[in-house]
Amino acid sequence: MPQLTLVQAVTLGLQQEMERDDRVVVLGEDVGKNGGVFRATEGLQARFGEDRVVDTPLAESGIMGSAIGLAMAGMRPIPEIQFEGFLGPAYDQLVNHAARYRTRSRGAITVPLTVRVPVGGGIHAPELHSDSPESIYAHTPGLKVVMPSTPYDAKGLLISAIRDPDPVVFFEPKRIYRAFREEVPEEEYTIPIGEAKIVAEGTDLTIVSWGATVHQCMEAMDDLPEDVSVELIDLRTIYPIDVDTIAASVEKTGRCVIVHEAPKTAGMGAEIATLIQERCFLSLQAPVQRVTGFDTVMPYYKLELDYLPDAKRIGKAVAECLNY
């Protein structure tokens, strides 16, 4: 079984789905000859040709509109948006068209497209290249939103997204594209969209996170006293959210800390805290804590690491929650 990075797992998933289904096409800026800005599509144009791996003009709205048309015509397009900040120009097409066609057509037309988007900070990129906008798209009915934290999950979730009958926004945490390797099966497999993963079982407190910050949570857990038992949940799918797994854990532990990169206000942490309040109020032994980015524009690289949640901030929140 090969040891792959997250971006290599994405490439393998794309390759295998293109081999399995000739309706699968990739389109985006520099995805062909150059293999994409992060090289996730490297080698695919040489293997499948320019008709299935299409270099597009620098026009995100056009990329998304073309992908919607292809999907409505029966294809399985995978548009790549180079950085999450550039989803803005494609917002109208994605939110006002792709997300609504199933309802608009009373189920007669679906839009099976998978929008791949590198997301988040940590690589010293400039403005518009380091944001975490998952809550914006999770707030849009008709869209599914996915964010893996490991190479294994990236491949399985990507294949599920490509085979999904509706539009999926597939966020790829760019700072862990090549941060570590993991065994990834060569054969095809899927991971159901909408199912969270319990990374570590525990009884004293629940941590809920997703994407790159899952690894900062694991780092924080390594520094906790040996007699503290923490359950770590990797959400994997931002929407539809696996509230049953979260609720079952919090009903067991009575305490919860939510960790994400995005700004605090109206982030997914607020939604999860409310779901816990609705489902687990009588089980709570302490207020739900949030460790997040700050309510400011993502700073330039010298302050970038001060913005991102780290093990120290997570450990402090865990201690406060345990000692409440």
Q: Cα 302 vs. chain centroid, distance in angstroms?
A: 25
Residue located via tokens 């803005």: 88
Q: Rounded distance, CA 300 to CA 27, Å?
A: 30
Q: Rounded distance, CA 253 to CA 232, Å?
A: 11
Catalytic amino acids? 129
Residue pair 315/223 in contact by the 8 Å Cβ criterion:
yes
Q: Rounded distance, CA 49 to CA 145, Å?
A: 29
